[in-house]
A and B are shown apart, each in its own frame.
Chain A
């Protein structure tokens, strides 16, 4: 079998299929002269039952062959006597031999997809390579693997699929940002998000919203329709990413969208999904009588007069908390409909995709609607000249519930006030409680919307100058406008004294990219394969924004700014540019020994005059042991060792004019314009660079039924771009400079296995696990985040730094805090490192069972060793120190009388019991999550072909059905500060991810 796989290695041409097709046509012409028996048949995909176009059908030991046509059918003239043996081949499928005994036999050949082929084409930086000759760590995810999981954006769907990639949804709100880190966190201020490249376009993944929603930001990748995606490749190591130079330090995610095929009949696919979702778990709150009891206890413990306790009869206190929880959540609805048309003739291919997606969130009034359109075209102007486009247009409309750390957000406004506080006064008007606005007003009356319009487009022209020398030019755009509107009616605290408040913001972001590449391949003596690439990129980004805040509306019926009495406005714009030159050279000897070199030179407008340019080289080596003559183990189908080293740069997260000394306007007084020194110059500012060493093994065993990929990497980031604190006597609190180093070292393992495979039943398993060790190797000044997390030299990122509560004294009920520096007093110096939000290992486990036409998929994700700060609990186990705030049921465990053993101190507003942020609220956030369970049924082809249907599939998916975790909050993956890359693992008043059930149908004509 081994030899069958590698024999296809001789087709070294890029357009393998086209070549085979031409060859087949030529062969079939030559076959005419013999005028022998004609065999007829069809070639069909074993899995999907769809006709296979372009497969070669060859009579064994001859040169007679044809390619299958649009319906998978072929007619082949064979010579010689029966039986004859046919060999059917197509890249991506296992070759098949069929014996034909009779000319009249109707031949139906099932081709089986070959997932583990080393010949599989992988798109890496600017070139397509066969997997067998790649020296870097590249992981790909095919669209089938993620199509059944429903999420607004594709990045959410990748969770748990790729070893070494940690993805966590920051909240259960549809279409909010996702924290995605490839091989750890490398940067503090320059950004940790990977580069997303959609059909060659560098796509902006950051949000451009102006109106804050309380910590969560919208995910601008939700602008892309996941159903258009053909394949996602994740480039992890430096040799794969360094051709992207300064954009590649955090890894690169390449997205290839679907395209039509030449000479294929028009294929129409339709899909529909409809689902319901509901929050899986909510917070346990005390009821009215329990609240009153606790409030009395605080009063008495603080030395209050027993005759004047606040609630003489606690049992009679009403309880509204259940009602409030009911009010803020609802059953969510998801619906998604899409239709794709694809096909092509000899010169032109096309793909048209349309999609409508709606997600009604479980927390009111969240709602997301996406409308998208994609047009992909390729056209051969001549044999040498090809042009084409990938264009997507989308609109995303959102209704947004404020979340998290925001006193106007529905969740905290409903839950923070005590259980005995109603939501309305007797006259029906809303209760506004302390700093918390009425959650009912926020749900019913607040009008918070945004809509994003996005155009991602690419035009290319490709010209084959001479054989194997190809020039390509790309002209790309990513154009995004976001229109936000928030109206606070007079019933909200924000607007009560100003008669309505409207903020209207408009933001435009535009990225223009022009790119040229020239590539050349050659083969010498059929032994040495050489390929070269050079190219350049010019990229220009500009962002501009306007916002108007208006107050003084005649009534809430008028919400447009024109009806307001007073308006204030803001506007700004900024731009940056990147100019790059890059090159690549690769060599392999008989597929056995492979070496490649990449380099990119980037010039960035963000840096000081002397440091604008950075050079980012890399090199890789690989050795295919199975290609060696001496390699005899027949059960090993492929064994490749590879190593690479490279340097990449980072500049993403910093401002456009960070190296300049600036004076800014807007420092006004008495409505007269003012000017102030706003930023100190740093002409020395330069690139943050990450060097990475990677070694890995790719292996295939037992007839490719077992595939194991193992990687070890060592990443080291230098010259970290940080906002470094400086003495305030300078008039400034910080300056952006290169200070600090971070390392990430880790191991990744991915295993794909076909456990059972026979005619009716297959069982496959994919498992991945990754470990990453992060360390801040050098940092001059510590940096604190969210009052809980500290970055300090020698520690890992995302380490919790706070007071440690040793125990609660059973005699006094007082918390005993660790006097860390042993100086006899408890103060800020006694804080210590108590936990970390990063997992020790994480990954996913995917099992697929197929029985006849049924399939069942079980996909689990897991994370071990990550700590979560249950800040919600900290806020609501305040022991009385937050007057007029309610409690979670955890507070009921408080110390009450001598002898009580508990870790919840005595209720009191005095002393240290509840005055400090202690580690009592830090929990183990390890989890095993049933990310999705899908049951599907593919209708038999025989049944549906009568109706001209190619494929029909019905399925049902359950998402987040269960989570096994010791974490007592709603969801260990929550993060309150989705807008802050340096904060992780803080759970505070954020909507938990819901459990959902979804039904879907896919139909292909």
Chain B
């Protein structure tokens, strides 16, 4: 019965194969990902905590946030930048004839990108804030933990502050998300409640951070700069002056001359905090600003008014160097983005802003001479003739002079639109509703029944 023996051996073979299979089943069906790690292996020692911190900075410089849209759409919304491109979701931010109420809709994808970009950064910070204190690593010292935690608190404060600048009071999420149910049922906080949270985070950051040489990671100086700016927004003049003075008197920071030095060199002494981009992680904004003959999309340019102001020796001085022109088609473009490799930084806090904050605060505190001194310090660096006392002898004149100066000094930094709103000048200058806040993104309202819209929705 040869057949039977052969068939038996086949059955043996078959059952052996099934046995091997049963053993290998579990391994085969549980592959370990190679480009990701599970939640449990996220922040568990000093090295991974530092990597997670880098991840938070990466979110900060992503294209939904400081890398592009957070800045870009407010430029288009205000009056220094003109739109020369075709991208419809940017074009809608441009005011027809440069004045009047916006026709922006809540379904704008760039706006939705900013909302999610900022909340993603917050989630990064939340992970650090929750997990760094729990890391079981004897080599991870208290000082190192405080440094990372301080930066995480700062990043969260900056993120919520930027959310308030776009939308007012927002939903506060203070714990890392592990499941969609973690964020269910959260209602918007008021603007005041949001500020309370921001200030609480900033005092955590202030108590943990020290002054460090770096300008591309947040240190105590960055915290002070944000406190000074928020105090200005909240009209807490004394606090704003205190913090601005701390920075101005800190010899780590100084105005560089000419103006162009701060953007032609990286991390100049002028810089309190700037976001670094590299050749491998290039700045997304560059593509949208650079002329086509230099390989960009050229969708935005400096408008005639700001170009005139920058180039005028009486107003712009050496700041005119910011206006560049392409060789062949003579297209005017933003000098920040001069690097062919597109590794231009984004400037979050410069010492010039602290001078102008203090100038504004001192004017409000009836210290017009001190105010003018600060203003002229900034003008002097730009080789613009100093303003005389006669043009600076009332609060109104002073505030107008400061507004004008800020417009030029921060021609393509993200201040103009927010400055006009906080000084109730939106209506007069842009024809917009005085307290205009962006509409809450429609896709978020659709997904979250607890999220209330804004008047502009």
Mask: chain A, 430-452; 1 = CB below 8 Å from B; 0 = not: 00111110000000000000000
Residues of the B chain whose Cβ atoms lie less than 8 Å from the Cβ of A681 = 39, 178-179
- The yes or no answer to A466 lying at the interface (CB within 8 A) is yes
Residues of the B chain whose Cβ atoms lie less than 8 Å from the Cβ of A669 = 54-55, 57-58, 61, 276, 281
Q: Are A731 and B10 in contact (CB under 8 A)?
A: no
Q: Do A536 and B278 form a contact, CB below 8 Å, given A730-B173, A827-B105?
A: no
- A494 vs B295: C-alpha distance in the bound complex, in angstroms? 5
Within the complex, which residue of A495, A566, A883 is in contact with B86, where a contact is CB–CB below 8 Å? A883
Q: Are B29 and A729 in contact (CB under 8 A)?
A: no
Q: Are B295 and A495 in contact (CB under 8 A)?
A: yes
Mask: chain A, 572-611; 1 = CB below 8 Å from B; 0 = not: 1111110100000000000000000000000111000000
Interface size bucket, A side? 35 or more
Within the complex, which residue of B52, B61, B91 is in contact with A675, where a contact is CB–CB below 8 Å? B52
- The yes or no answer to B177 lying at the interface (CB within 8 A) is yes
Most chain B CB atoms below 10 A, which of A465, A674, A680: A674
Mask: chain B, 381-392; 1 = CB below 8 Å from A; 0 = not: 000000000000
CB nearest to B25 among chain A residues: A579
Residues of the B chain whose Cβ atoms lie less than 8 Å from the Cβ of A656 = 31, 33
- The yes or no answer to A665 lying at the interface (CB within 8 A) is yes
CB nearest to B275 among chain A residues: A669
Within the complex, which residue of A433, A574, A662, A881 is in contact with B292, where a contact is CB–CB below 8 Å? A433
Q: Are A498 and B86 in contact (CB under 8 A)?
A: no
CB nearest to A566 among chain B residues: B279
- A669 vs B216: C-alpha distance in the bound complex, in angstroms? 10
- A726 vs B171: C-alpha distance in the bound complex, in angstroms? 15
Residues of the A chain whose Cβ atoms lie less than 8 Å from the Cβ of B39 = 661-663, 677, 681
Q: Do A728 and B341 form a contact, CB below 8 Å, given A465-B7, A466-B7, A676-B58?
A: no
Residues of the A chain whose Cβ atoms lie less than 8 Å from the Cβ of B443 = 725
- A558 vs B183: C-alpha distance in the bound complex, in angstroms? 54
- The yes or no answer to A727 lying at the interface (CB within 8 A) is yes
* Residues A634-682 near B (CB distance < 8 A): 656-657, 660-681
Q: How far is the CB of B373 from chain A (nearest CB, A)?
A: 36
Residues of the A chain whose Cβ atoms lie less than 8 Å from the Cβ of B293 = 432, 493, 496
Q: Do A435 and B292 form a contact, CB below 8 Å, given A676-B55, A729-B186?
A: yes
- The yes or no answer to A852 lying at the interface (CB within 8 A) is no
- A727 vs B445: C-alpha distance in the bound complex, in angstroms? 8
- A881 vs B90: C-alpha distance in the bound complex, in angstroms? 13
Residues of the B chain whose Cβ atoms lie less than 8 Å from the Cβ of A573 = 34-35
Within the complex, which residue of A603, A663, A665, A727 is in contact with B448, where a contact is CB–CB below 8 Å? A727
- A432 vs B327: C-alpha distance in the bound complex, in angstroms? 13
- A729 vs B341: C-alpha distance in the bound complex, in angstroms? 34
Interface size bucket, B side? 35 or more
- The yes or no answer to B260 lying at the interface (CB within 8 A) is no
Q: Are B447 and A725 in contact (CB under 8 A)?
A: yes
Q: Do A729 and B278 form a contact, CB below 8 Å, given A675-B52, A735-B180, A828-B442?
A: no
- The yes or no answer to A885 lying at the interface (CB within 8 A) is yes
- A678 vs B88: C-alpha distance in the bound complex, in angstroms? 29
- A487 vs B118: C-alpha distance in the bound complex, in angstroms? 36
Q: How far is the CB of B243 from chain A (nearest CB, A)?
A: 26
Q: Are B294 and A675 in contact (CB under 8 A)?
A: no
Within the complex, which residue of B88, B178, B276 is in contact with A661, where a contact is CB–CB below 8 Å? B178
Q: How far is the CB of B278 from chain A (nearest CB, A)?
A: 5
- The yes or no answer to A424 lying at the interface (CB within 8 A) is no
Q: Are A661 and B38 in contact (CB under 8 A)?
A: yes
Q: Do A536 and B21 form a contact, CB below 8 Å, given A681-B179, A727-B444?
A: yes
- A676 vs B442: C-alpha distance in the bound complex, in angstroms? 27
Q: Are A727 and B31 in contact (CB under 8 A)?
A: no
Residues of the A chain whose Cβ atoms lie less than 8 Å from the Cβ of B50 = 672
Residues of the B chain whose Cβ atoms lie less than 8 Å from the Cβ of A680 = 177-180
Q: Are A566 and B54 in contact (CB under 8 A)?
A: no
- A450 vs B30: C-alpha distance in the bound complex, in angstroms? 34
Q: Do A673 and B54 form a contact, CB below 8 Å, given A471-B10, A663-B41, A731-B177?
A: yes
- A402 vs B79: C-alpha distance in the bound complex, in angstroms? 38
- The yes or no answer to A453 lying at the interface (CB within 8 A) is no
Within the complex, which residue of A432, A436, A495, A663 is in contact with B36, where a contact is CB–CB below 8 Å? A663
- The yes or no answer to B305 lying at the interface (CB within 8 A) is no
- The yes or no answer to A33 lying at the interface (CB within 8 A) is no
- A915 vs B31: C-alpha distance in the bound complex, in angstroms? 50
- The yes or no answer to A211 lying at the interface (CB within 8 A) is no
Residues of the A chain whose Cβ atoms lie less than 8 Å from the Cβ of B106 = 828
Within the complex, which residue of B28, B180, B446, B448 is in contact with A540, where a contact is CB–CB below 8 Å? B28
Mask: chain B, 35-51; 1 = CB below 8 Å from A; 0 = not: 11111011100001011
Q: How far is the CB of A668 from chain B (nearest CB, A)?
A: 6
- The yes or no answer to A882 lying at the interface (CB within 8 A) is yes
Q: Are B297 and A435 in contact (CB under 8 A)?
A: yes
Within the complex, which residue of A493, A538, A677, A827 is in contact with B28, where a contact is CB–CB below 8 Å? A538
Q: Are A498 and B295 in contact (CB under 8 A)?
A: yes
CB nearest to A434 among chain B residues: B292
- A574 vs B173: C-alpha distance in the bound complex, in angstroms? 33
- A665 vs B281: C-alpha distance in the bound complex, in angstroms? 14
Q: Are B54 and A674 in contact (CB under 8 A)?
A: yes
- The yes or no answer to B395 lying at the interface (CB within 8 A) is no
Q: How far is the CB of B68 from chain A (nearest CB, A)?
A: 16
CB nearest to B171 among chain A residues: A729
- A469 vs B7: C-alpha distance in the bound complex, in angstroms? 10
Residues of the A chain whose Cβ atoms lie less than 8 Å from the Cβ of B444 = 727-729
- The yes or no answer to A8 lying at the interface (CB within 8 A) is no
Residues of the B chain whose Cβ atoms lie less than 8 Å from the Cβ of A497 = 290, 294-295, 340-341
Residues of the A chain whose Cβ atoms lie less than 8 Å from the Cβ of B115 = 728
Comparing B120-128, B405-413, B423-431, the segment that makes contact with chain A is B120-128
Q: How far is the CB of A437 from chain B (nearest CB, A)?
A: 8
Q: Are B58 and A730 in contact (CB under 8 A)?
A: no
Residues of the A chain whose Cβ atoms lie less than 8 Å from the Cβ of B179 = 680-681
Q: Are B29 and A577 in contact (CB under 8 A)?
A: yes
Q: Are B54 and A672 in contact (CB under 8 A)?
A: yes
Within the complex, which residue of B120, B341, B442 is in contact with A732, where a contact is CB–CB below 8 Å? B120
Residues of the B chain whose Cβ atoms lie less than 8 Å from the Cβ of A496 = 293-295
Residues of the B chain whose Cβ atoms lie less than 8 Å from the Cβ of A540 = 28
Q: Are A574 and B10 in contact (CB under 8 A)?
A: no
Q: Are B17 and A516 in contact (CB under 8 A)?
A: yes
- The yes or no answer to B96 lying at the interface (CB within 8 A) is yes
Within the complex, which residue of B21, B59, B180, B328 is in contact with A667, where a contact is CB–CB below 8 Å? B59
- A732 vs B280: C-alpha distance in the bound complex, in angstroms? 24
- The yes or no answer to A910 lying at the interface (CB within 8 A) is yes
* Residues B182-201 near A (CB distance < 8 A): 182-183, 186
- A495 vs B295: C-alpha distance in the bound complex, in angstroms? 7
Residues of the A chain whose Cβ atoms lie less than 8 Å from the Cβ of B177 = 677, 680, 730-732
- A579 vs B442: C-alpha distance in the bound complex, in angstroms? 43
Q: Are A466 and B3 in contact (CB under 8 A)?
A: yes
Q: Are A730 and B279 in contact (CB under 8 A)?
A: no
Q: Are A498 and B341 in contact (CB under 8 A)?
A: yes
* Residues B61-119 near A (CB distance < 8 A): 61, 84-86, 88, 91-92, 96, 105-107, 112, 115-116, 119
- The yes or no answer to A523 lying at the interface (CB within 8 A) is no
Within the complex, which residue of B29, B57, B292 is in contact with A605, where a contact is CB–CB below 8 Å? B29
- A681 vs B182: C-alpha distance in the bound complex, in angstroms? 13
Residues of the B chain whose Cβ atoms lie less than 8 Å from the Cβ of A910 = 96
**Which residues does A use to contact B, with CB under 8 Å?**
384, 407, 425, 432-436, 463, 465-466, 469, 471, 493-498, 516, 518, 536, 538, 540, 551, 566, 568, 572-577, 579, 603-605, 612, 656-657, 660-681, 725-733, 735, 781-782, 827-828, 881-883, 885, 910, 915
Q: Nearest 6 pairs between A and B by C-beta? A: A731-B123, A674-B54, A497-B340, A728-B116, A676-B55, A662-B36
Cross-chain pairs A/B with CB under 8 angstroms, 7 sampled: A435-B298, A469-B7, A493-B296, A497-B340, A661-B38, A676-B55, A727-B444
Additional A-B contact list (17), CB under 8 Å, known A435-B297, A663-B36, A675-B54: A384-B6, A497-B340, A536-B21, A538-B28, A572-B34, A573-B35, A574-B34, A575-B31, A579-B25, A663-B42, A670-B54, A672-B54, A675-B43, A676-B59, A677-B124, A726-B183, A730-B173
